[in-house]
Every structure is written in C-alpha cells, then in structure tokens.
C-alpha cells in the first residue's frame, strides 16, 4: 500500500474553546464542523485537502513552554502560507520560547509557535522575503 496524501490529523487539546478560537481566528483555518456538531469535544477544520481535528481528550501533554529548549525536541504540525501571512505570524507570535526561528530550511523558511494548549506548530513559506531582514535566519547548525 502506498499513501497518497495526509487525510487528517487529530490534535489533543485540554481547552477546546481556546484552541478552537485560536485555530479559527489566529490561524484562519476553514471551519468544517464546529464543536456543537459532535457529541464529544471535537472541532474540524479544513486546510487544503487535509482535515485538522481538535479533540478534547484530557491527554494533551500540558508541558510548559519553559520546558522547550528547541522546536525539534517535539513533534509538530506545519502549515504553508504566503510570505505576507508568514511575516504576520512571526510578528504576532514571536518570543514564546528560545530558538523559535525563523529558520532557513533550504527550500523554505519556517517559524515555530505554540497554540493555547502548548501544541507545537510551524508555519512555512516558500516565498522569498520582500526586503532585508531585521534579524538573521537560524539554520540546522543552530539546533
């Protein structure tokens, strides 16, 4: 069997309401099914052809951002976006933990951040920067 695509990703959260608003309003994901559509604590969003489901299971890690020394220490979910939106994420969500980025990953640039439950997310862009950078990009050698 060969997989053709990622159909969906479930993200464990402790606070569905806060995460629902964050994924909807901050990330701007397209709502597929709101929490009231489910008997359990779920919300579904569509990102391209992939579904991201928030699930309030009580199993979220609950770790502190202070425990995160580097984003590659924890699995994460990455979203692709335009340069303009990417730069907005960097401006709005910077300063959550050390070595957050942005990173030069060769073909794309990436920046890591946390949702309200501490799930690690990354936003990436394949678009080049529009002007000179305010700070240097981190690289894999900075890991």
Contacts (Cβ under 8 Å, ≥6 apart) of 93 = 111, 113
Would you report the helix, strand and coil content of the chain in percent, each value rounded to 5?
Answer: 25, 30, 45
**5-58 pLDDT tens trace:** 677 798 888 889 999 999 999 999 999 999 888 877 889 999 998 999 998 876
Q: For the segment 85-116, what is each residue's pLDDT rounded down to a tens digit?
A: 999 999 999 998 888 999 998 889 999 999 99
Q: b/e string for 60-82 if b means 16 or more Cβ within 10 A?
A: beeeeeeebeebeebeeeebbbe
Q: Note the pTM of the prediction, 2 decimals.
A: 0.81
Q: Which residues contact 105 (CB under 8 A, 6 or more apart)?
A: 124, 140
Residue 93 confidence (pLDDT):
94
* 46-71 pLDDT tens trace: 999 899 999 887 665 556 666 666 67
Tell me the CATH class for 8-56: alpha beta
- What rounded mean pLDDT belongs to the chain? 85
Domain boundaries, the chain: 8-56, 65-142
């Amino acid at each position: 069997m060969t997989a053709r695509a990622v159909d969906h990703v479930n993200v464990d959260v402790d606070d569905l309401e806060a995460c629902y608003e964050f994924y909807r309003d901050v990330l701007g994901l397209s709502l597929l099914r709101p929490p009231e559509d489910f008997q359990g604590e779920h919300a579904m969003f569509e990102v391209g052809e992939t579904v991201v489901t928030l699930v309030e299971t009580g199993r979220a890690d609950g770790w502190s951002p202070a425990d995160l020394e580097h984003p590659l220490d924890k699995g994460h979910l990455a979203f692709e976006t335009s340069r303009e939106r990417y730069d907005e994420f960097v401006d709005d969500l910077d300063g959550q933990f050390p070595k957050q980025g942005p990173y030069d990953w060769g073909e794309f640039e990436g920046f890591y951040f946390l949702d309200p439950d501490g799930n690690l997310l990354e936003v990436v862009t394949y678009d080049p920067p529009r002007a000179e950078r305010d700070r240097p990009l981190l690289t894999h050698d900075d890991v």
